[in-house]
Each structure stands twice: as structure tokens, then as C-alpha cells.
Amino acid sequence: MLDAIRVQEVSPTVAWLRSPAAIRERCHQVLDLGLAGRLEYFKVEPSRLPTVVDRVLAVTHEAYPRLDIPVHSRWRHFDAGGVPRLAQLEARLASLPPEERARAKVDLGVVSVLLDAGSGPTWRYQEPGGASYVRSEGLAVASLRMFMAGGFSSDPDRPLRADAEALSRMTREQLERGFQVSESNPLLGVEGRLHLLQGLSRVLPRPGSMFDMLAAHRRSVRAAEVLGTVLEVLGPIWPGRTTVDGVNLGDVWPHPALGPPGSADALVPFHKLSQWLAYSLVEPLAEAGVTVTELDALTGLPEYRNGGLFVDLGVLVPQDPRLTMEVYAPGDAPIVEWRALTVALLDRVAALVRGRLELSPEELPLAKVLQGGTWTAGRRVAAELRPGGVPPIRIRSDGTVF
């Protein structure tokens, strides 16, 4: 199964920029500049962090009164609206051997995460015979239903899988049909999402192959290794952006305050969708007997709910009011700055939340603070402040970053 997978050898600089240590180090460099008042786009007000912690603890206690918080991952969204869709999937997978069940779940997890970039404020998915869902939950339910209908498999006798043949043949029309896209129900970044699925077909015989790469006759794997595998294998599928030593780095962008233009020193890696996928592989691996360790090596996710929480509650104050009025591309300097500050501030929030709850990092890793947590609080505050809960800063989505 793994013979078709070829991972490109990369330079030490590229390898480092693909590591969670690089994400954390560069983002904290930006935060240090912000605390020193040396950033162009945002002023940092650390005195407002307790207000963020209050909101995070409120939503955490509401959703998880016993603090039995799961890891932040794609799996939380599949049962949106309290519908037990994962139980339906489990029932259909029950006759398969454990390893094949794990591969099927990795198939679903990878495809669903790659389809999870921002949907836009008006798109919704109407579940047949059920309710309608928007944003990340809607994308999750749509991708799950498409998966269960065999939409990502080339074998009618084995519908519950994704494979290269089906993904390579995927058309825009098929994807739009599965996600109920129309003139009156537009989904942002359809072409970008399709590009990722078709790219996936060129790097893996099936997404579930990553289970074999990570499980490989062992009982545990480090979280940084999970992310490293995701970045190495999926690296070629991302749209061409920043390159170093001939390698396309994906979700990595320059910030002018860190180094000279065009230098590796100026680059801030985020790898948002890749980290979201790494978090989402924890449970399929665990169910197959492989524990993911050192989960706190991964960082918080630099997306608009976590980032919006800090803007809306006054931790990050735009230096120019136009920042909340204009629309930006992901690589624009204000967005890079916002995302970097978000990652670093999530570390601070996690430490403060643990302190309030008197829990250790082992008892409450960052992944559970996100789930408890910051993402929900960001959404809740946005809904209180703006119609439709739109984020405070607008980003032009191409379907491949957020």
C-alpha cells in the first residue's frame, strides 16, 4: 500500500519550518514585538487576558461540567445537532478488521479536514430529512454524508473509503452537488477545495495510507511526528505560495518585522489545516491501539474564531480602524500578524485556564482548552457583537487556508 508514496527530501530550513517548534517560536517572536509596542497593525493589551479566560471557562463549564473535555478535532462536528451520525458510521464499519476501520476513518478525517476551510456567511447544508447546518458543522455533515454515500470511493462494493482514483476524477459539479452549492447557496473556495482533493490523489493511494505510516508496528507516536508526516506527505498539494530551497511550504507567510524580505528569517509557519488534521488523527489512531503522545507540542489553531476572540475582547486592538472594514488575503501582513499573535496568545490563555482550574498541562493539554474552549467562546462573542457571527476581520478565502 505504501509503495506509491514518495516523500521529498528537504533542507534543514524547510524541515524546521514544518515543525510545531518553529510555529511556536516565530509566533512568540511576533507577540514579543507586540508587547514591546513594535508592531504595525495590532496593539497588544495583556491586561484583557483575564476577560478572555472568563469567557473560555464559562463555555467550558457549560459544555463539559465534569471537565471531561475531548481533544479539539474534526470528530466533534460530525454529530452536529445531537444527531448520532458517527454511530451510524460505526455500525456500517463494524464488520471490518480494526486496521481497516482505522483506515476508513482516516480517509474520512483527511478529506473532511481538507474541505473545512471557511464556507462564507450564507452557505448552508440541508441534511435530508433533518435540520440545516452552517459553517464548519455544515461542512462536516456534508462531507460525512458524501463519504457514507460512496462519493470519495471508486469501488461501489466498498463505498466507505476514499481513494486516489475517485479523488482524481472528482469534478466541480460533483463537489457542488454533494455540498448543495447553487447560485442562492454559494460556498467560498470551491475551486480551491477541489484542487486539494485532486492533489491528494497524486500523493496517496488513499488517505487512509497515513494510518499505516504512523501506526507501523508500534503502540505510540509523538504528535510532532504526526504533524511532520502530514506536512511531508501533503506538502505538494498546497497552492504555490512561499517556497524555500525549491519546496512549496503551504501555510507559511512572511512578516516584515521578523527579517529581510525574501529571507527565511521573515517567515511565520502556521500549517493550520495540517495541525487541524493532526489533531483529528488522534482518535482513529487511539481506537486502533496507537497513542499519540506529547500532544502539547502542537500549537493553537490560527483561524478566525480563536483570533476573533482576542480582537473582540480587546486583547488585540487594531492600530487603524480600517482593519475591521476591509477584506484581506491570507498573505497580507495584517492577517499574518493577527494569526501569529493568536497562536502565541492561545498558549498564554491555556496556562491561565489551567491555573484557574488547578490542572496540569498533562491533565488539560492545549487541545482540550481549544475544544472547551477558545473556539466556542470566539464564536459566541462574535454572535453577540455582529449579525451572523461574522469575524471582526474579514479574509478572502480560497478554500485552502482557513
What SS3 state is found at 27? helix
Grid cell for residue 4: 506509491
CB environment 27-56: b (16+ within 10 A), e (fewer): bbbbbebbeeeebebbebbeeebeebbebb
Nearest CA to 292 out of 367, 207, 374 is that of 367
Q: What is the pTM of this model?
A: 0.94
Q: State pLDDT tens for residues 37-71.
A: 999 999 999 999 999 999 999 999 999 999 999 99
Identify whether the C-beta of residue 378 lies closer than 8 Å to the C-beta of residue 316.
no
- Distances in Å between the alpha carbon of 252 and those of 184, 192, 349? 34, 17, 24
DSSP, residue by residue, 158-187: --SS--HHHHHH--HHHHHHHTT-BTTB--
- What whole-number distance in Å separates Cα of residue 26 and Cα of residue 120? 29
Q: State pLDDT tens for residues 210-259.
A: 999 999 888 999 999 999 999 999 999 988 889 999 999 999 999 999 99
Residue 322's CB is within 10 A of a number of other CB atoms, namely 9
Q: State pLDDT tens for residues 63-98.
A: 999 999 999 999 999 999 999 999 999 999 999 999
Grid cell for residue 17: 519550518
Mean pLDDT of 348-356: 98
